[in-house]
Each structure stands twice: as C-alpha cells, then as structure tokens.
C-alpha cells in the first residue's frame, strides 16, 4: 500500500512541476522585497524589545509599521497585537473611514460572515446604527467585476468607500488578483476621486508578486495569524494605506487625541518581524500543499476551486462534496494529521459570528492560525471544504497520503 501511495504522489507532483516553479519565483521576488524593507527601516535587535504602559516611543512598534508600509507599498501602517484578528482590523477600518450619511459600496458581493454584524443591526453599534448606508454588487459568474454597473453606481452615489474582499470567504467564487483590480481602481478614482478603495487582503498576501496597494488601493487590511505572520506571529492584524486613510483609521484604533502614539506589548516584537521575514517561504509551502491536495481531489473526480490549471490568488483550495458527511470526513482527516490536538475529532458547532454550524480543523501551534494546515466549512449546501495553509509542504504531503488512502 505504501509503495502504491508513493507512486501516486510522484505522479501527482510531476503534474505540478511548472506550478511549483512559478510559486518559487514569486516567493523569491517577495523575499527580496521584504529584505529591502527591513534594511531601509534599519531593523535591529533593539526593535524586538517590548514595552509596558502607554508604549510611548516604542521603537519596535513604530519600526514594524514602517516595514509593513514599505513591503505593501503604503505610506503608513498600523501593525499591532491590539488588533485581535482580521475581522477586528477590518471593522476598525470601516468605523475609522465611514461617518453618518456615508455610503459603503461592496463590489465583490456580501462581505465575509463575521463582518455582517458590523454592517447591519439595530442597537448593536453597527454601521447601520450610525446612519451609514451599505450597497453591494455581485461578481459575474466567472468571478470578474461587473465593471459597467460599478462605474454607474460610483458616478451616481459618490460612495465614501468602495470595498473589495480578495479571498472567497464561504462562497464558491475564485479569489481576486491585484492585476485584475488595476483598471477598476483607476476608473473608480476618475469618477469619484475622494472615494476610499479598501481591500480585505486576508489569505492573499505574497501569493502574487504585487499587492492591491500597488495598483491603487487606499487601504489593505489583514490578519497576522494568516499569511504575513509566517506562522510565528502569536496574534494581531495589520492595516496599510495612504497617510490620509491611516490618519482617519488611527483615530478609531485608539482615539482622536492619541492615534498611533500609544500601544505597548510587553512580550516584544521578534516573532512579528521574524514571521514577516519567513512569510514568502511559508506562503509558498502552503500554495504547493494546496496544489497537491487539489490535484489529488481533482483526479478523484471532485470539483476544486480554483481548478489546478488556474493560478491561485489566495492560499485556500475549495473542495466541493456531494454530502455533508463527505465534507465532515475530509475536515476530520485534516485534524488527524495535526501536530496539536491530533487525537481530537472536530464536529459542527455554533461558532460565534456565523449563521450556520461550522466545522473547523485547526490543530495549530497558534490558535486558529490559517497559515498553518487547517480546514473549515459551514454545514450548508453546496458542501464546500475550505482547505488552507501548511507551514511545510511535507506536512501537507502527509495529509495527502491520508487522502489517497481515504478515497
């Protein structure tokens, strides 16, 4: 049996040779970009030290923000463990930029599930409570933008914010490429120069050789326990953008009088720096792993998104199953090969922030870290497993062996 599995793995990897070469090329470009940002920001061991209290003149925090701004092509950045997760970081951006009477226009359909309560609801402190209006435009069936409809809406509404979600969330669409955003952003700015273009960049960092800020986004936002944390950052989020945008957001991040002057972290910042430095390699490992799993499942007759002949734009590979039972079995198999809590059997449960029961396999060193080998899904049709991460390709390959046995 082992000999047969090894032969299948060899054949599968041979199909992926050119994909792996492209992934390595992108990782090398991004590694050089990060190395230059570290040098330009004059990172030293002094930057690793923590602070307490207010954190005035926290050189570690301030330099880390400069590094992120350089890496992601922004003027300023907020990078902090005070931002507890991606949802918190995104919500901080929304409340920082939008004011009463403003319009938020999402051009990628409804945002991720955990953002819904931020946008809607009476009496919960939502955008709706503050008199901020929300409108959305769905993507086309092929995951492209409905450009004409977007331009008509932007021209008519002059929205304060145009919002995009790069990754798919819990949907069946493909993730979006920064290259496909460039023309859209240019035309939006021509129609409404004061509109802020905001991109939820979660799961997409370092998957390509450019980021949305490189093609005109005013703000990008994400989580440090996903791609840019490299599997080492213990918590946190980042916000990178124009000086004007970050100034508005920082007033909400702390308060209008303090903005970015405060924020201490006694543990120190080494893991945040080291995680970012490792991120291009770690993302490449995850992309190779999801390509391997996607090819195996595709060869077994299952639909995967994106298909393995398409260039990925995030670290997620969706596998579409026929039944909830098949989906649950796949997710439970991920947990079986996890280094932490590998003996635990995950079951669907009422996870905070979601409308459906969710099953999640995340036997991770950092709790809930999606750059580590993990998988999750709401239990609803279509039954799609959202498989992501992998700190090492070898770890994902061990999971691939189990899949060959299973299917």
| pLDDT, tens digit (0-9, with 9 covering 90-100), for 71-97 | 999 999 999 999 999 999 999 999 999
Which residues lie closer than 8 Å to 335 by C-beta, 6 or more apart?
Answer: 341, 342, 344, 345, 346, 361, 362, 363
Question: CATH assignment of 43-267, given 3.40.50.300, 3.50.50.60, 3.40.640.10, 2.60.40.10?
Answer: 3.40.640.10
N-to-C CA span, the chain = 13
Rounded CA-CA distance 180/327 in Å is 32
Look up residue 186 and give its two tokens. Answer: 């240019």
Examine the pLDDT at 106 and tell me if it is beyond 80. Answer: yes
Give the pair of three-digit tokens for residue 72.
């992601």
Report the pLDDT value the prediction gives residue 89, as an integer from 0 to 100. Answer: 98
Query: What confidence tier does 407 reach under pLDDT thresholds 50, 70, 90?
Result: confident
Residue 196 falls in which region: left (phi positive, over 0), alpha (psi -120 to 50) or beta: beta
Give the confidence band of 345 by pLDDT, cuts at 50, 70, 90: very high
In the chain, residues under CATH classification 3.90.1150.60 are 2-29+276-406
Cβ contact 198:217 at 8 Å = yes
What whole-number distance in Å separates Cα of residue 97 and Cα of residue 94? Answer: 6
What is the number of helices (H) and of strands (E) in the chain?
Answer: 11, 12
pLDDT above 90 for 149: yes
Backbone angles phi, psi at 139, to 5 degrees: -75, 160
The token duo for 320 is: 């579409």
**Average pLDDT over the chain, rounded to whole?**
96
Over its C-alpha atoms, the chain yields an Rg (Å, rounded) of 21
Q: In the structure encoding, which two tokens stand for residue 321, read together?
A: 């199953």
pLDDT tens digits, one per residue of 160-219 = 999 999 999 889 999 999 999 999 999 999 999 999 999 999 999 999 999 999 999 999
Q: Residue 351's pLDDT band (boundaries 50, 70, 90)?
A: confident
What per-residue confidence (pLDDT) applies to 353?
A: 78
Q: What is the pLDDT of residue 260?
A: 96
380, pLDDT greater than 90: yes
**CATH 3.40.640.10 domain residues, the chain:** 43-267
| 141: confidence class by pLDDT, cuts 50, 70, 90 | very high
Tens digits of residue pLDDT in 251-308: 999 999 999 999 999 999 999 999 999 999 999 999 999 999 999 999 999 999 999 9
Confidence of residue 9 (pLDDT cuts 50, 70, 90): very high
CATH number 3.40.50.1010 is the correct assignment for the domain at 2-29+276-406: no
Give the list of residues 6+ apart from residue 149 with CB closer than 8 angstroms, or none: 137
Model pTM?
Answer: 0.96
């Amino acid at each position: 049996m082992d000999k047969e599995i090894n032969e299948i793995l060899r054949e599968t990897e041979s199909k992926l040779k050119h994909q792996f070469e492209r992934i390595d090329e992108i990782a090398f470009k991004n590694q050089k970009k990060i190395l230059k940002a570290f040098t330009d920001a004059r990172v030293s061991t002094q930057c690793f030290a923590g602070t307490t209290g207010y954190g005035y003149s926290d050189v570690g925090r301030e330099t880390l923000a400069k590094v992120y701004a350089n890496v992601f092509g922004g003027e300023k950045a907020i990078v902090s463990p005070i931002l507890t997760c991606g949802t918190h970081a995104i919500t901080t951006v929304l409340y920082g930029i939008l004011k009463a009477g403003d319009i938020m226009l999402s051009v990628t359909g409804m945002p991720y599930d955990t953002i819904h309560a931020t946008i809607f609801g009476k009496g919960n402190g939502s955008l709706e409570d503050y008199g901020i209006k929300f409108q959305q435009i769905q993507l086309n069936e092929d995951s492209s933008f409905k450009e004409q409809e977007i331009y008509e809406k932007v021209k008519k509404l002059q929205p304060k914010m145009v919002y995009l979600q790069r990754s798919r969330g819990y949907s069946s669409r493909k993730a979006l490429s920064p290259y496909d955003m460039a023309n859209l952003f240019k035309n939006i700015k021509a129609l409404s120069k004061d509109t802020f273009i905001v991109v939820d960049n979660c799961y997409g960092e370092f998957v390509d050789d450019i980021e949305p800020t490189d093609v005109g986004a005013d703000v990008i936002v994400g989580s440090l326990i996903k791609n840019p944390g490299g599997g080492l950052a213990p918590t946190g989020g980042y916000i990178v953008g124009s000086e004007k945008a970050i100034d508005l957001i920082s007033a909400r991040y702390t308060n209008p009088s303090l903005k970015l002057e405060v924020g201490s972290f006694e543990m120190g910042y080494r893991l945040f720096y080291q995680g970012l430095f490792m991120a291009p390699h770690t993302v490449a490992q995850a992309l190779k792993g999801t390509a391997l799993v996607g090819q195996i499942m595709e060869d077994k007759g299952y639909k995967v998104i994106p298909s393995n002949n398409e260039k990925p734009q995030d670290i997620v590979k969706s596998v579409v199953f026929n039944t909830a039972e098949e989906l649950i079995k796949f997710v439970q198999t991920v947990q079986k090969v996890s280094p932490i809590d590998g003996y635990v059997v995950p079951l669907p449960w009422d996870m905070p922030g979601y409308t459906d029961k969710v099953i999640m396999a995340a036997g991770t060193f950092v709790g809930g870290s999606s750059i580590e080998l993990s998988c999750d899904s709401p239990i609803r049709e279509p039954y799609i497993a959202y498989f992501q991460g992998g700190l090492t390709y070898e770890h994902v390959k061990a999971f691939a062996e189990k899949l060959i046995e299973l299917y």
